[in-house]
């Protein structure tokens, strides 16, 4: 778990429930010791700035680019994006996913909401909690869309995967349903 800011504890519990052994990452030496990484929800600008302060931004970019399985939730999705709409102009990103995200995409009225999503490959719908969530504005050809939310007749991807990098706009660590974490642990095992 990248543990610079955000809801680290909830992800640690969900990952353990999904069968992973976990540790927290704040320094480059700690990053060097893990097989995979989860970037939590929180505030993407704050996590990005702290990554710079802790000397972690470049090591993170290198590990993700080299194929380390990585899962980003909400702010974590923003950090793994190639570019951001409505972000801060100087917002540091890790990248790794060929997507452009729109930050705080769902607007003020539905700042935070819950929805049952159909997820490609999951038999039962997934109850998803969105908190000032981004959506995927544009995605490259190599990006698989796993789930979307319709707003005013337009479908916006909220869960995507490219190679070993997974991202969701929402917070599966908050619902007690561990299927997304299980999918990620599976991805880590297979890589
Ligand atoms: N709006 C936040 C951001 O862009 C993300 C919110 C969240 O992680 N719940 O960083």
Q: Which of 44, 81, 105 is the best mutation target for the ligand 1 pocket, counting ligand atoms within 8 Å of the beta carbon and taking the most?
A: 44
Q: Average pLDDT for residues 111-137, to the nearest whole number?
A: 95
74 C-beta closer than 6 A to ligand 1? yes
pLDDT for the residue numbered 1: 98
Q: How far is the CA of 171 from the centre of ligand 1 (A)?
A: 10
43 C-beta closer than 6 A to ligand 1? yes
**CA 31 to CA 35: how far, in whole Å?**
9
pLDDT for the residue numbered 50: 98
Residues belonging to the active site: 74, 171, 173
**CA 180 to CA 172: how far, in whole Å?**
7
Q: Residue 109: pLDDT above 90? A: no
- Which of 58, 87, 59, 62 has the alpha carbon at shortest distance from 75? 87
Residue closest via CA to ligand 1's atom 5 equals 75
Domain boundaries, the chain: 8-190
Q: Residue 4: pLDDT above 80? A: yes
CATH topology of domain 8-190: Rossmann fold (3.40.50)
Mean confidence (pLDDT) of the chain: 96
pLDDT for the residue numbered 105: 94
Q: Which atom of ligand 1 is nearest to the CA of 103?
A: 4
Q: Which of 48, 71, 131, 175 is the best mutation target for the ligand 1 pocket, counting ligand atoms within 8 Å of the beta carbon and taking the most?
A: 131
**CA 133 to CA 118: how far, in whole Å?**
18
Q: Which atom of ligand 1 is nearest to the CA of 44?
A: 10
pLDDT for the residue numbered 37: 98
pLDDT for the residue numbered 119: 95
Q: How far is the CA of 133 from the centre of ligand 1 (A)?
A: 6
**CA 39 to CA 148: how far, in whole Å?**
21
Q: Which atom of ligand 1 is nearest to the CA of 6?
A: 8
- Please give the full DSSP string across 62-93, using - where no structure is assigned: HHHHTT--EEEETHHHHHHSSEEESS-TT---
pLDDT for the residue numbered 100: 98
pLDDT in tens, 167-176: 999 999 999 9
101 C-beta closer than 6 A to ligand 1? no
110 pLDDT tier (thresholds 50, 70, 90): low
pLDDT in tens, 31-81: 999 999 999 999 999 999 999 999 999 999 999 999 999 999 999 999 999
pLDDT for the residue numbered 87: 79
pLDDT for the residue numbered 54: 97
């Amino acid at each position: 778990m990248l543990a610079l800011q955000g809801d680290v504890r909830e992800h640690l519990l969900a990952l353990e429930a999904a069968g992973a052994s976990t540790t927290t990452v704040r320094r480059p030496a700690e990053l060097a010791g893990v097989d995979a990484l989860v970037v939590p929800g929180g505030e993407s600008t704050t996590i990005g700035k702290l990554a710079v302060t802790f000397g972690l931004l470049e090591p993170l970019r290198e590990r993700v680019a080299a194929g380390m399985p990585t899962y980003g939730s909400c702010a974590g999705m923003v950090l793994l994006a190639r570019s951001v709409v409505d972000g801060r102009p100087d917002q540091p990103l890790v990248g790794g996913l060929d997507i452009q995200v729109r930050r705080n995409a769902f607007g003020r009225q539905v700042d935070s909401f819950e929805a049952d999503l159909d997820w490609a490959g999951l038999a039962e719908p997934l109850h998803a909690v969105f908190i000032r969530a981004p959506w995927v504005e544009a995605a490259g050809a190599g990006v698989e869309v796993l789930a979307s939310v319709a707003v005013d007749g337009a479908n916006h991807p909220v869960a995507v995967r490219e190679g070993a990098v997974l991202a969701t706009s929402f917070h599966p660590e908050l619902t007690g349903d561990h299927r997304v974490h299980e999918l990620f642990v599976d991805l880590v095992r297979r890589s």
